[in-house]
Structure 1
C-alpha cells in the first residue's frame, strides 16, 4: 500500500472519527462526526504532524441527523496548511468494482486504536442504494469490522492507495460484517471542488474547474423558466435515446453537469449541456465561454483557407472558396401563431455547430437572432467566406431581414455586413424539391449562363400549375416585378418555389402586382426587372450572394434623392450543397 500520511483522526467533543486530506488545507469527513462543531472544537491529527490542528466546517452536504439522510459529508478547513503531507489521490468512479471484486481498505480510529487500524472490505455491487450509497461487505470472515471510529475514513484500492469513497455507516448488528460507502463521485455532488480531483473520461482538472466556475450560481436566473430547467437541460444533452433522468432530483446545475461527467458514458453530453445552458445565459462573455467549453489550444487553431470551386459557380467562375453559411432557421413552434423556434447554426464544411436554439414570441425573434448571428462568427475559420442564410416560413419570406440593424451598437443594415439570402422553410424540408434543386445546380454548373424568367406586374392571372411546369424546363432564375403580397403574386411565387428555382429575386416594396391587364411599361416593377436583367447578365448563379451584397452596399450608401432600384432587393438563393444534413445535434434541442 502507498503512504497513508494523508489519513486523519478527527475529534469533535466526545466524538471520534476519521477523515482524509484532499488539499493542503481541506479534510473530508462525515457530517455526523462533526455534528457538534457549533459548540465543540474540531481537531484534526496526522501521524506526521505533532498535535491536533484546529479546523472549522466550511461545507456541509445537508445531512439532517438520521441514518438514512443523504449528504453525510463535511469539509473541514485547517487553521494552517500542511505542505509536508501530500493529499490523497482519487481513482476513477468505476475503479472500485470489478470481477473478481477489488480489495478495498479503510483506515479508521476505533477505541483503543489511537494510531488507527485497517479494515478490509469490498463493494457488493456498483448499484447505488437510494441514489447515495454503495454497500460494503467484509473481505473475509475475520479481521477488523467497521465500528465507530471508521466514520469518515477513506476507502482506498488496496493495490494503488487511491481513494474511491468514504465510510459513512456500519451495520448495527456486530454479527453482520457490512457497511456503507459514499462513493467519491457522490461526495462531489455536495462539494463541487472535489470533482476536479476525481478522474473522469476525456476531461481533466482544468476543464472541470472551468466548467464549475461557469455553472455555479447560474441556477436562480432560470428558476421561473421551465424550458431551461436542470432536468430539461439534462434531457437535451443526452438526447431521446440517452440515459433517463436519475430517480433523485438534481440539486443544482453543477449537480447535473457532474452527473454527466461522472456517470453518463457519452463524453460529449456534458459539452452539449454547457452549450445548451449558454443559450439561456444573458451575460455574453459567460455565454461564449460555456459554448466554447472545453476550450483547448488544438480546438481553435487557425487553419489555412481551403480554396475550391464555389458550389453552384459555373465552370468559368474560377477557383473560389466555398461558402461557410450561418444558418438562421425560424419555424412555427406549434404552440400558437406568435411563437417560433429560432435556431442559429454555423457551418464549416460538413460540420454544423448549433450556437443557439430557443422557443420565442415573435417580438423577441429579431433580437435573439441578431445576437446569435454575431456569436456564430466565432465558429468560422479566419478565412471563411461567410453567408448569412435565413430559412423562413413562406409568409415571412418578404420580411426585411436584410434591413435589420446589425446590432445595438451598429445601425448599418445586416445586408451590408455580409452576403445575405433567404430560403423557404417548407421547401427546405421537402426531400423531392431538395433533390430537384441539386439537379438544377448540376445543370447550372455545366452552363455558361443562367436563364432569367421575368414575371411582370400584369402576369398575376397566369396559371400557377403551367408556370411551375414551364419553369422546371425553361428557366434557372425568376425575377418578380412586385413583392409576394397580393394573392395573385403569392400564387405565382409559390409556383416558382415548387419549380425548384434556385434563385428568385424581387423588390420587397413597390407595386402590389394586382393589376389585371393593361399596360405596365411605366411601372416601377418593370424598371426593376430591366435593371435586374442588366445586372445579372453573365454572372454565375453560385456567386450571386456576393454580387447582390455589393449591390446592396451601393444602394444603402447612395445619396441620390430617389432610392436606388436595389434598395429593397430580396434574394432567395438555395444551394443544398452548401447546407448539408447536419452532423451536429442529432435531435431538436427544443420541443
Structure 2
C-alpha cells in the first residue's frame, strides 16, 4: 500500500474527498464529492505538498443528490497525463470470502492532508438496492469512515487490487459501518471501467471491443431489441432472471452478462442477437463474430478430424464423384452409375413460419451448419414485405460461418401452403440479379414435416436404406392421377417410393392433396414444375400435356442418380436452364426440389426462443 501512488485527494471549494487513478488521465470519485463543491474548480493531488492538477468532470452515474440515489460516481479527466501506474482491479467476487477479506480505504479526513487508512470488510456479497454492499469495521477500534473517505478505493489488503469505492458512512459515529460501490456496479455507470475489471473468460481487448460495438449500434431499442429481451435470449429460459432494477441500456445488459452471469457463452449470444438488429453490415459482422472466431474454428477442426469412416473426398463437389455415363443415343436411358459415398453438406437453413400475430408477419431464422454444429445468423419477426430482403442479406452473411472447404446447400423450410414459392428465382442480392438457385444448390422442405417427430424418424430410416440401395425408386404422379385416394397413396408411397415426381404444381385442390400424401409418406425427394399443367383437362392425358413431358424428361435425367447427389445435379440443371438461349423455356427452368435428409440438419439446440406472437 505504501507504494500505491494512485490514491488521490480531491478538492472542490470547501469539499474534500478521495479518488483513485484508473488511466493516466482519469480519476474516479463519488459524484457528491464534486457536486457539493458548487462551481469551483476541481483539483486533484497524488501526494502531500504537490501542486494540484486541474481536472474536469467528464462522466457521471446520474446521481440525483439524495443519499439513497444510485449512480454516485464521477469521472474526472486531468489537465494532463501523470506518470504513475494506475490502480489495478480484482475480479468482482474477490471482495468476499470465508474468512472475510480485509479491505483498506485511503481517505483524506480533516487534519490528514497526507491521508490515512481505514480497515473494513464486506458484510456480505448481497447488493442493497441493487447498488451497494454494506461495509463493517474490521475491528472495534481504529479509523472510522468519516467525511474525506468518500471516493476512496477499497483494496484487498494482501494484493492492493481495487474491489470498490467508499460511497457513504453511518451518520451515527457509534455505528462503524458504511457503503461500498463495487467495481462492477461502477462499470454500469462508466462503461470504460469494465475493460479494466477482470472477468472470467474474457480479455480486456475483447470487452473493449464489445463495448465499442454496442455503442455503434445505430437503432433505438424496441420491443424485440430491448436490453431485457436480448438478455433473456442470451441466457435462455432457465438462465438467471433479469435483475429487479432492469437494465438501463444495452451496455448495462451486456456488462451484467460479462460480470455476473457464469455462462461465458451468454455474452457472445447477446452480441450475435444484437447483430441481427444492426443496420450497418460491418458492425453486424463484428458483433456476430465477437469475441473471436479462433475457438470455433479449432472446435470444428477437431470434430472434422475425429469423424470415423468419412471418405477423404466426400467434401469435394458431387460432380467429381459421379461417373459421366455414356448414352447410347439421344432418346435412350443413361447408363446406370455406381453410387458414390454420400456427400457432406454444410447447409444454410432458412426457416420461415407464421408468427401467430397475423397473416402478414413471419418468424424468420437463418442458420449455418458446420459439422452438424448450428450457428444462428439471424432471427426476426418481420412483416411479409421485408422477408425476402432480410433472408437474402442473412444468407450472404451465413457464408462467413462456413469453412472454406464446405459444400454449401441453401435449404428453405416453408409452411406447406407456401411450398411452391419461387425461392430459387429470387435475385441473389441487391447487386446481383442472377437467381439464387443458380448460385448454389437449393432445396425446399416442409415446415410441418420438419416439426413432426414421427415423420423425421421415418425419414431417417428411409435414408439409411437408401445408402445401401444402388438405384432409388421414382414414382410418377401424372395428370390422370388426381382422382386417387390420398390416404391409399400415402400408405403406398411409404412402402414403395424413394422419389416422387409430380406432373404439375401443388396448386389445385386435387394436386395439393396428392402432394400432401407424399409429404405424409416421408418421401425423401419430391420434384415438380412450379408452373405448367394443373391437371384440369378431362378425358385422359393429352399427348401435348406439358406435365407428362416434364415427367419423361425427369425420369431420363434422374436415372442412375442417388438421392444424395440430387441437390448438386439439380443445381447444374438450373444453371443450364437459366443460361439457355432457346426460344422456349428450358424444361427445368421452373423445376422445384423438395429434398430432406435429417442427418444434415439436426434439430436446433440453443437457438433463439420466441413467443408465438413475437
Pick the TM interval, shorter chain: over 0.9
Residue 27 of structure 1 deviates from its aligned partner by 0.5
Q: Secondary structure at the match of 2:219?
A: helix
Could you tell me how far apart the structure 2 residues matched to 1:185 and 1:379 are? 33
Residue 168 in 1 paired to residue 190 in 2? no
- Please say if 1:43 is aligned against 2:22: no
CA distance in 1, matches of 2:291, 2:252: 18
State yes or no: 1:233 paired with 2:255. no
1:133 match: 132
Q: Please show how residues 272-311 of structure 1 align to structure 2 within 5 Å.
A: 272-295=269-292, 297-300=294-297, 308=311
Q: How does 1:305-324 map to 2 (within 5 A)?
A: 308=311, 316-319=338-341, 321-324=343-346
Q: Distance in 2 between matches of 1:366 and 1:435?
A: 31
Cα separation, 2, equivalents of 1:544 and 1:310: 15
Structure-2 change in CA distance of 1:67 and 1:414 (3 Å): same
Is 2:377 aligned against 1:379?
no
Render the CA deviation track for 1:350-374: whole Å, top value 9, x for unaligned. Answer: 2100010011111211111111111
Contact kept? 1:347, 1:380, Cα under 8 Å? yes
* DSSP 3-state at the match of 2:163: strand
- 2:458 aligns with 436
Distance 1:437 1:299, change over 3 A: closer
Compute the RMSD of aligned alpha carbons: 2.0
Partner of 1:250: 247
Aligned twin of 1:559: 581
Q: In structure 2, which of residues 374, 392, 410 is the aligned counterpart of residue 370 of structure 1? A: 392
Indicate if the aligned counterparts of 1:2 and 1:161 stay in contact, CA closer than 8 A.
no
Rounded to whole Å, the distance in 1 between the matches of 2:428 and 2:611 is: 26
What is the alpha-carbon distance in structure 1 between the residues aligned to residue 473 and residue 394 of structure 2?
Answer: 36
> In the alignment, which residue of structure 2 is the partner of 1:3?
3
- In 1, Cα distance between equivalents of 2:145 and 2:293: 45
Moved more, 289-298 or 50-59: 289-298
Equivalent residue for 1:121?
Answer: 120
SS at 1:529 equivalent:
helix
Deviation, structure 1 residue 323: 0.3
**In 1, Cα distance between the equivalents of 2:48 and 2:149?**
20
- SS of the equivalent of 2:20 reads strand
Q: Mapping of 1:86-485 within 5 angstroms?
A: 86-216=85-215, 218=217, 221-223=219-221, 225-295=222-292, 297-300=294-297, 308=311, 316-319=338-341, 321-485=343-507
- Could you list the per-position Cα deviations for residues 315-361 of structure 1 after superposition, in whole angstroms to 9, with x for gaps in the alignment? 94335640000000111111112211101000011210001001111
Name the counterpart of 2:71: 71
Give the SS at the match of 1:125: coil
TM-aligned CA deviation for residue 297 of structure 1:
4.2
Deviations 1:412-438, CA, capped at 9 Å, x for gaps: 000000000000000001111111111
SS in 2 for 1:221: coil
Residues 426/298 of structure 1: CA separation in 2 closer, same or farther (3 Å cut)? closer
TM-score, normalisation: structure 1: 0.96
Q: Which runs of 5+ in 2 are unaligned?
A: 323-336
Task: Using the TM superposition, give the Cα deviation of residue 516 of structure 1 relative to its aligned residue in structure 2, in angstroms.
Answer: 4.2
Give per-residue Cα distances to partners, 1:475-526, cap 9 Å, x unaligned: 1100001000000000000001111100000000011112344233320111
Unaligned 5+ residue runs, structure 1? Answer: none
CA distance in 2, matches of 1:524, 1:385: 34
8 Å CA contact 2:14–2:37 kept in 1: the answer is: no
Whether contact under 8 Å (1:458, 1:514) holds in the other structure is: no
- SS at the partner of 1:54? strand
2-side partners of 1:249 and 1:336: how far apart?
30
567, 592, 596: which one aligns with 1:574: 596
Question: Which of residues 513, 522, 531 in structure 2 aligns to 1:491?
Answer: 513
Aligned to 2:331: none
State the TM-score, normalized to the length of structure 2.
0.93
Secondary structure of the structure 1 residue equivalent to 2:94: helix
Partner SS for 1:226: coil
Deviates more, 1:459-468 or 1:484-493: 459-468
Aligned counterparts of 2:541 and 2:608: Cα–Cα separation in 1: 54
Whether the aligned pair in 2 keeps the contact of 1:151 and 1:169 (CA below 8 Å) is yes
Distance 1:173 1:569 in 2: 84
- Following superposition, the deviation at residue 466 of structure 1 comes to 1.2
User: Secondary structure of the residue that 1:277 maps to in structure 2?
Assistant: helix
Find out whether 1:536 has 2:558 as its counterpart.
yes
Q: CA deviation at 1:216?
A: 1.6
Counterpart-to-counterpart distance in 2, 1:221 and 1:142: 55
Change (3 A) 1:421 1:280: same
Deviation at residue 473 of structure 1 after TM alignment: 1.5
**Following the alignment from structure 1 to structure 2, what is the Cα–Cα distance between the partners of residues 459 and 98?**
78
SS of the residue corresponding to residue 224 of structure 2 reads helix
d(CA) in 2 for partners of 1:49, 1:339: 69
Q: State the alpha-carbon separation in 1 of the partners of residues 2 and 116 from structure 2.
A: 15
Q: Any idea what the Cα deviations from partners look like across 1:213-268, whole Å, max 9, x if unmatched?
A: 000253x7234x21111111111111111111111131211111001111111111
**Higher deviation after alignment, 294-303 or 90-99:** 294-303
Name the CA distance, whole Å, in 1 between partners of 2:142 and 2:301.
63
